[in-house]
């Protein structure tokens, strides 16, 4: 079985195991998804959703974020961690959206990457979930951990991992690939001592049962 065939088997098994896999961040429009994804860096989606539940009722537009007092915003997002940088990035991003993009979140990778705090992972999440635009594969901590364990890449660099995966996974499956691996990483293939005996893809994983 070659790598591409193994990936298809992995995806089929994960689809059966996690049919509910989907983006966990709550949002109502592209701006809210962009804000939530920026806040989710090194933070759980549950914490982010708790913060944005209040945030999105107060800030409705890019103009609102562009005008906010930075100290106020820091207090409101403090529990997401790294709140100084996140508040600064959110405010600067909003100012760019207002000045350059008429207050709208852009729909291209190149334009999104001009925004502070936005790297390819965030851009991929926003493009695929808000606009249905597939430009790449979002590589978060779960995806990075799982693809290395599965032997789908040898690098630890997210951008290089994305390039490796884009050569192995059909384009139409890129968003689903991310969702399924994230859910499997949360539920089964955890960072420490994963319960390999409960894993639906352990027979396809070269790292299975090597953590004990």
**Given the residues 86, 91, 121, 179, the one annotated as active site:** 121
209 Ramachandran zone, left/alpha/beta (phi>0; psi -120 to 50):
left
- CA 153 to CA 155: how far, in whole Å? 6
**Given the residues 91, 140, 164, 179, the one annotated as active site:** 140
CB-CB neighbours of 89 under 10 Å:
18
The answer to whether 140 and 114 have CB atoms below 8 angstroms apart is no
Is 140 known to be catalytic? yes
Is 121 known to be catalytic? yes
Active site residues: 121, 140
């Amino acid at each position: 079985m070659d790598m591409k065939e193994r990936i298809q088997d992995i995806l089929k098994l994960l689809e059966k195991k996690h049919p509910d896999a989907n983006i966990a961040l709550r949002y109502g429009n592209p701006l809210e998804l962009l804000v939530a994804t920026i806040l989710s860096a090194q933070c759980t989606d549950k914490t982010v959703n708790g913060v944005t539940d209040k945030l999105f009722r107060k800030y409705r537009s890019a103009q609102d974020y562009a005008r906010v007092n930075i100290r106020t915003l820091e207090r409101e997002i403090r529990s997401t961690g790294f709140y100084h940088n996140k508040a600064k990035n959110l405010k600067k991003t909003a100012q760019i959206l207002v000045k350059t993009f008429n207050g709208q979140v852009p729909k291209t990778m190149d334009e999104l990457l001009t925004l502070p705090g936005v790297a390819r992972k965030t851009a991929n999440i926003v493009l695929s979930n808000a606009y249905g635009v597939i430009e790449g594969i979002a590589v978060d901590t779960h995806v990075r951990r799982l693809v290395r364990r599965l032997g789908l890449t040898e690098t630890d660099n997210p951008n290089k991992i994305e390039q490796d995966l884009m050569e192995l996974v059909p384009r139409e499956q890129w968003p689903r690939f991310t969702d399924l691996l994230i859910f499997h990483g949360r539920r089964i293939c955890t960072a420490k001592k994963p319960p390999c005996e409960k894993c639906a893809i352990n027979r396809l994983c070269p790292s299975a049962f090597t953590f004990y």
